[in-house]
């Protein structure tokens, strides 16, 4: 590895999958305003994830649509006239 290109301020951070509540702790440099009390009784920074290996269809084998921000609806509304022309 090259010297001096990697950050040195790693700390313990909890990542939580918001779709199913799964949490794990690892070292990271990611910043967060949220905190969470972990199993050991200490409080750690919390990074909220929309998807993790416990909810991703590739790892679970289940196909489900995760659309927390309404992206599919926005897409359908934007291209509705184009899609309607194509189906006729």
Residue spans of the domains in the chain: they are 11-87
Q: What percent of the chain has pLDDT over 70?
A: 76
Return mean pLDDT, the chain: 82
* 16 φ, ψ (degrees, to nearest 5): -125, 125
Q: Is the pLDDT of residue 3 over 90?
A: no
How far from 7 is each of 10, 13, 32, 81, CA to CA, in Å? Answer: 7, 15, 17, 49
Report pLDDT for 86. Answer: 64
**Residue 27: pLDDT band by 50, 70, 90 thresholds?**
very high
């Amino acid at each position: 590895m090259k010297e001096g290109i990697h950050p040195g301020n790693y700390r313990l951070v909890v990542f939580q999958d918001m779709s199913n509540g799964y949490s794990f702790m690892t070292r990271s440099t990611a910043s967060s305003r949220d905190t969470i009390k972990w199993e050991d009784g200490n409080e750690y920074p919390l990074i909220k994830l929309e998807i993790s290996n416990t909810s991703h269809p590739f790892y679970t084998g289940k196909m489900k649509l995760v659309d927390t921000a309404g992206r599919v609806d926005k897409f359908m509304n934007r291209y509705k006239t184009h899609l309607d022309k194509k189906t006729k």
